[in-house]
Every structure is written in C-alpha cells, then in structure tokens.
Structure 1
Amino acid sequence: MKKALFLVLGGIAVLFAIIYAFIYFVTFSDGIRSGELIKISHKGVLVKTWEGEISQGISGAQIFSFSILDKDQEIIEKLQEYQGEYVKVEYVERYATFFW
C-alpha cells in the first residue's frame, strides 16, 4: 500500500515538473514589436511585476502588453525614460504564464 502511494505521488510530482518545465522554457514565438510606449508600471498585490503596454495603432485599438524581469533594471529605467515615445521591444511569448 505504501509503495503504491509512493509511486502515485512520485508520478504526480514528475508530471508537475514536466508541465512546469514546458510552461517556463518552451516559447510560442519571439520577435520585435514597435509602437508608442504608453504605460510602464510596477504592479501586483503579493508578487510585484513590471508591466508595459505599447500602442500599435493610431486609435490605440491595438495594445501589446508585456512583462519585464526584475533583473533587467537597465531596461526598466530606459523604458521609464522613453514613456510616450516610439520604441521597439524584443519579446519572447510563451504558451502560458504563471500567476506570479
């Protein structure tokens, strides 16, 4: 009985690790987007993340939202400086994201 429980829990742990690795490491697409940088903010209740938005259309109907890693402080400072101006952002899009 203990062996079966151990195998089931081990299998669940391995499955969780595979799903986590897939979500974290596998990319859906990458490229460069350009437009007017309309927002850069540090938001979140429990976990704070840097978020930005680029307007890609004249009316602002096409908004590209993106996140910036906390370790990229130089990029964050440059984006804060260029808010309201035309910028190009290199991005990596993943299949899914974690809530944090």
Structure 2
Amino acid sequence: MMKFLFKTFIAILLIVAGYFAFVYYASYSEGVRAGELVKFTRKGVVFKTWEGEISQGVSEAQIFKFSVESGETKVIEDLNKYQGRLVKLTYFERYKSLFWLGDTQYFVSKVELNTSNNEQ
C-alpha cells in the first residue's frame, strides 16, 4: 500500500512540475507593440511585480498592459527612464499568468525609444 501511495505522490508531483515548467517556458506568442508609456509601477503585498501600460491610441480600449520580470534590470531601468514617451516594446505571451511573476500574460523582454517620424 505504501509503494502505491508513494508512486501516486511522485506521479502527481511530476505532473504539477511539468505543468508549471510548460507554463513558464512555453511561449504562446511574441511580438512588438508601440505606444506612449503611461504607467510603470512596482506593486504587490507579498510578491512585488513590475506592471505597466502603454497607450496605443485615443480610446481606452487601446491600452496594452504588460509585466516585467524582476531579473530584467535593463528593461526596468529603461521603462523608468522613458515614462511618458513613445516606446517600442518587444514582448512574449505566456499561456497563463503566474502571480509571483506578474499580473498579465505579456512579459516585456526589450524596450526601445520609438524614434519614428511621427514623434515631434
């Protein structure tokens, strides 16, 4: 009986570990979004996460919400520096959001100042 319980426990543990590994490492989509950086904050009570928003147009429906992992120090520094300016964000989307990493499924991996001809 103990062998059966032990094997069942190990199987459940492997399934849960496999699920979290898949959710963390598998990318659902990736791309680039551009807009005005309207908000970038560090928030949370127990797990502090970096969250931001860019406005991609006139209406509120065109707000892109994103998260940044704590280890991405260059991205965090750049986003703090570019507050209120036009930026281009390179991101990837996870299948699920993991609460200790961020509120959204979209994680920014690179940020550039948008130097297109539209900027005055």
Q: Which TM-score band (shorter chain)? A: over 0.9
Is 1:10 the counterpart of 2:13? The answer is no
> Aligned residues, how many?
100
* SS of corresponding position for 1:61: helix
TM-score (norm 2): 0.79
Question: Which amino acid letter does the alignment assign opposite residue 41 of structure 1?
Answer: T
Structure 2 residue ranges without an equivalent (≥5): 101-120
Deviation per CA, 1:6-56: give whole Å up to 9, x if none: 111011011111101110111110010001100000001101011110111
| Structure showing greater relative contact order (alpha-carbon pairs closer than 8 Å, 6 or more residues apart) | 1
Q: Offset of 1:60 from its aligned partner?
A: 3.0
TM-score (norm 1): 0.94
Alpha carbon RMSD of aligned pairs, Å? 1.0
Moved over 2 A (4+): none
Q: Offset of 1:61 from its aligned partner?
A: 2.1
Structure 2: how far apart are the matches of 1:36 and 1:60? 13
Structure 1 residue ranges without an equivalent (≥5): none
Q: Percent identity?
A: 50
